[in-house]
Amino acid sequence: MKAGIVGASGYTGGDLIRLLLIHPEVELTYITSRRYQGKYVKHLHPNLRGITDLRFDELSPEKASECDIIFMAVPHKASMNIVPDLLAVGLKVVDLSADFRLKDPDIYERYYCPHTHPELFEKAVYGLPELYRDELKKAEIAAAPGCMAASAILGLAPIIAEKFIDRDHIIIDAKIGSSGGGKNFSFASHHPERANVVRPYGAVGHRHLAEINQELSLIVKQPIKVGLSTHAVSMVRGILSTIHVFLTEPIENKDIWKPFRKMYNKEPFIRFVKQPSGNYRLPDPKAVIGSNFCDIGFMLDEDIPRLVILSALDNLIKGAAGSAVQCMNIMLGIEETTGLLIPAPHPM
């Protein structure tokens, strides 16, 4: 099997190259960049020096057609205008942008811009294998989730249908590292401005709300609206979502364990983290950085009463390139964990 990456010069593109170069059943043969055509990978991704002599190429559907599958690691708006030409030459596509995550063009327009190819929405499957494994097997487009959306949805999916939670008042407090903004820099990402911050940059109205609401609503088959507040914090990679769920009746720990175990017991990349004491008693992004794991834990607050769910992942791996490779494995009929069972280094 041959794979290619459009937009391979960026941060998710770099992690896709890294994961695909060590994948035992897929050969990475084609990577594109507009700015760096002809340059070696090491020019942009110094961690891959000595591992590959691939060079960045131009974007051409004809060249791409020599692959079996293409990853789109470009911004939203750009992806929607490239994907139709790739589908036309018979390719499967895993899109890391937001362009094919939503099912309603009006909601896409509200959060992003008018969509130029909404007719392709029906070909796309939301790229969370934990929810859509069967659908992904036949998908032409896998729309890998947004990084904060992935952490929030994975944290909430097992309990969102439980009758003991107040679905009208769910609050997700997400903290994310600087690589979440991609490679292009701005005044906000300038080191003196970005270092050492806990900056609330999306207290309300963050774009990932669209897909979080969509996916949670699909699970319970009725409209759900959650609150999402996002903060830029002083790390390079990682997300921690602290999810506050208010309870309608008293419950015990076992009432939470049960739905979580039911949904995730066999999931290869979901780990439960809930220990009575010690440094590692609840999820911490530090323990998943560089890996495709999402660590999930919870605490019950009987006084309020409230359930606090913690969900940690690496925004560039389980929140992007790792989930995308997991989708690829499913779409190509390869064992799902192939090339992805890599633990995070510790200490980091």
Ligand X SMILES: NC(=O)c1ccc[n+]([C@@H]2O[C@H](COP(=O)([O-])OP(=O)(O)OC[C@H]3O[C@@H](n4cnc5c(N)ncnc54)[C@H](OP(=O)(O)O)[C@@H]3O)[C@@H](O)[C@H]2O)c1
45 touching ligand X, by CB under 6 A? no
Q: Is 178 in the site for ligand X (CB under 6 A)?
A: no
What letter does residue 197 receive in the DSSP assignment?
-
Q: Is residue 290 within the footprint of ligand X (CB under 6 A)?
A: no
Strand partners, 198: 233
User: Whole-number minimum distance, CB 25 to ligand X, in Å?
Assistant: 24
Q: Is 291 in the site for ligand X (CB under 6 A)?
A: no
Query: What is the total residue count of the chain?
Result: 348
Q: For the chain, what is the total number of helices (H) and then of strands (E)?
A: 10, 14
Residue closer to ligand X by CB (options 118, 305) is 118
**Binds ligand X (CB under 6 A): choice among 28, 64, 71, 97:** 97
180 touches ligand X by CB under 6 A: yes
Which of 96, 120, 294, 328 binds ligand X (CB under 6 A)? It is 96
- Comparison of 167 and 237: residue with beta carbon closer to ligand X: 237
Cβ-contact 333, 255 below 8 angstroms: no
Any contact of residue 179 with ligand X (CB under 6 A)?
yes
Query: What pairs with residue 78 in β-bridges?
Result: none
Q: Which of 35, 138, 191, 254 binds ligand X (CB under 6 A)?
A: 35
List the one residue from 2, 63, 75, 135 that touches ligand X (CB under 6 A): 75
| Interaction residues for ligand X, span 312-331 (CB under 6 A) | 315-316, 319-320
Residue with tokens 């796309």: 124
Place of tokens 């990853």: 71
Q: Among all chains, which residue has been given the structure tokens 């392709």?
A: 120
**Positions marked active-site:** 147
- Which amino acid appears at position 126 of this protein? Y
Q: Binding of ligand X at residue 93 (CB under 6 A)? A: no
Q: Whose Cβ is closer to ligand X: residue 176's or residue 245's?
A: 176
Asked if residue 135 lies in contact with residue 193, where contact means CB atoms within 8 angstroms, the answer is no
Q: Is the dihedral of CA 151, 153, 157, 162 positive or negative?
A: positive
CB under 8 A, 24+ apart: contacts of 274-282: 274/298, 274/299, 282/310
Query: Smallest gap, in angstroms, from Cβ of residue 8 to ligand X?
Result: 8
- Residue of the chain from 4, 5, 7, 93 that contacts ligand X (CB under 6 A): 7
Under the binding rule (CB under 6 A), the answer on residue 183 touching ligand X is yes
With beta carbons less than 8 A apart as the criterion, state whether 9 and 16 touch.
no
- Give 147: exposed, middle or buried? Use CB within 10 Å, 0-12, 13-18, 19+: buried
Q: Of 20 and 256, which CB lies nearer to ligand X in the complex structure?
A: 20
In the complex, the residues that contact ligand X under the rule CB under 6 A are: 7, 9-13, 33-36, 73-76, 78, 96-97, 146-147, 179-180, 182-184, 315-316, 319-320
